[in-house]
Amino acid sequence: MANQRQYLEWHGQQWRVRVKVPARVRDLIGRGKLTHPLHTADLKDADARKWPVVSRLKGVITAAEKVLATNDPVEAEALRHRLSMDDEGTQYAINLRAHELEETKGLDTAKAFFALASGQVTPLDHHATEFLKHQGYRMKSEGDFRRVLSWLGDWLRDSQLPVALEAVRRVNAGKFLSESLIVGRSRQKATAYLGFIRQYWTWLLDKGHLPSGENPWDGQKLPAERRQARGAETDRGKRPFTDAEMVKLLNGDGGPLLNDLMPVGALSGMRIEEICQLQVSDCREGTFKVWAGKSDSARRAVPIHSGLVEIVKRRTAGKKDGDYLFDELPPIPQSRETRSDPAAKQFTRYRRKVGVDERPNDKAKSNVDFHSFRRWFIRKARDAMLAGAEGFDEWTIAWVVGHTDSERAKSLDLSQHGYAGQDPEKAKRALVEAVKLPTADHQPH
């Protein structure tokens, strides 16, 4: 009964939908709640009818939040008009303002304003937040979705098209794939990004946010990969750092943040976002506790390497449990979802500065990045095991770095579960301590 009554209230001998308006947008919407009659006195019937109405009313709230978030004053003004389209005189005001904009900012700006204000077009990301709530993506996937939607918006803008849902016809979707999405990215990565856009349009159509019809992304195929020319450089893709590159990176001065962040990445095998999410309470009793990440397997405890004890001690001294280990990173703005972005960008600049880079055939993205510390850690743990290090096996490596079952299956025979057993602390610590940072005097030739 309680679930049936969600979003419902009894009014005037019938049920109606009631959605509370958040305080931050009440002034824009002009009321504290949004309501709509369902024209039925039967609770079960009202419960079945309410969801499309709830979705539409929540769309009004999302539109108001979009007004607050945009940095474009013309777009904000258009969205305000759109919020009050039911008010008398709004259409006249939109027409009048469009004529003023044509005189002051040109015809293109006036057309874009009119289309948005009158509801003829919908901003590309207008329903993105609602979609993400529905999908329940993990942090990494949510970031990938917002990233590819941003790339689509940039392409539409560069192609002199409205950055709007209605502008994405099938022909434009195909051009975006060949002219933008596949450029500088592997086919595997581009396919994953295409999947996010396709899911977004499927949801938009299912929820009635777009006229019923064909999903412009369905059946779209990425262009075939070109064969490399005879004289092209060999490109083996993403890889670990070499020991020589490790020495360059760790012996240089990347500043207080990177000088601590790089060793933690190298001697723990953690992903950069996992490191940047660590709080003081996660660094106790000799382990890093990772609570969330790329997959369920990412939730784990990683022994703190003896080479990191001083860094952890210094960075936790005098801090509260809820303080971040790397507290110099700024708060996460609305424009992104991950805390590690500024650190990753700073590392990229530093890496290039010290000459650690690899871009065969002038590819857009380097084959080495911060994730190469994780790859290096895994390689060194494997090499130590093959050289006779005792106390851990292949399964320990998978548990320490938080690999998913599918990632384990790629390299492990699931029937050969070794003596390390189910993730024993002793085995994990033996593995971590087997990894040693290279020095300038002791690099393999």
DSSP sequence for 45-65 = HHHHHHHHHHHHHHHHHHHHH
pLDDT level of residue 360 (50, 70, 90 thresholds): confident
Residue 41 is assigned to a structural domain of this protein: yes
CA 25 centroid distance within chain: 26
Q: How far, in Å, are 31, 34, 197, 227, 374 from residue 50 at the CA level?
A: 20, 13, 28, 55, 49
The answer to whether residue 443 is domain-embedded is no
Minimal CA–CA distance to 361: which of 268, 241, 206, 234? 234
What pTM was estimated for this model as a whole?
0.55
Cβ neighbours, 10 Å, residue 411: 12
More confident residue, 190 or 423: 190
DSSP notation for 336-353: -S-SSHHHHHHHHHHHHH
Instruction: Kindly list the strands in the beta sheet with 33-37, ordered across the sheet, starting from the edge strand earlier in the chain.
Output: 8-11, 14-20, 33-37
| Same domain membership, residue 143 and residue 62 | no
Residue 223 lies in a domain: no
Residue 122 lies in a domain: no
Q: Which residues contact 52 (CB under 8 A, 6 or more apart)?
A: 208
pLDDT beyond 80 at 79: no
Q: Is residue 2 part of a domain?
A: no
The least confident of 40-44, 111-115, 341-345, 362-366 is 111-115
Q: How high is the pLDDT of residue 325? A: 97
Contact by Cβ (8 Å): 25, 65 = yes
Picking from 20, 95, 7, the residue whose alpha carbon sits closest to that of residue 46 is 7
- 83: tokens are 């919020």
Where is pLDDT greater, at 186 or 108?
Answer: 186
**Dihedral sign of CA atoms 111, 116, 117, 119 in order:** positive
Lowest mean pLDDT among 1-15, 70-84, 168-182: 70-84
Helices (H), 118-241: 128-135, 139-158, 170-176, 187-206
Residues 276 and 193 in one domain: no
In a shared domain, residues 143 and 282: no
Computed over every residue of the chain, the mean pLDDT equals: 82
Predicted confidence (pLDDT) per residue in 393-412, tens digit: 888 888 888 876 555 444 44
139 and 283 fall within a common domain: no
End-to-end CA distance of the chain: give it in Å, rounded. Answer: 72
Residue 36 domain-assigned (yes or no): yes
What's residue 112's pLDDT?
66
Tell me whether residue 356 is exposed, middle or buried, using C-beta atoms within 10 angstroms of its C-beta: 0 to 12, 13 to 18, 19 or more: buried
Domain count, the chain: 3
Of 253, 252, 326, the residue nearest 288 (C-alpha): 326
Structure tokens at 361: 């055939």
d(CA 48, CA 32): 25
In a shared domain, residues 45 and 173: no
Using pLDDT thresholds of 50, 70 and 90, give the confidence band for residue 34. confident
What is d(CA 262, CA 280) in angstroms, rounded to the nearest whole number?
Answer: 18
Q: What are 269-291's pLDDT values in tens digits?
A: 999 999 999 999 999 999 999 98
Q: Quick one: pLDDT band at residue 312, thresholds 50, 70, 90?
A: very high
Query: Domain of 98?
Result: 8-117
pLDDT category, 142, cuts 50, 70, 90?
confident
Same domain, yes or no: 112 and 144: no
Same domain, 146 and 254: no
Residues 249 and 337 in one domain: yes
Q: Is residue 227 part of a domain?
A: no
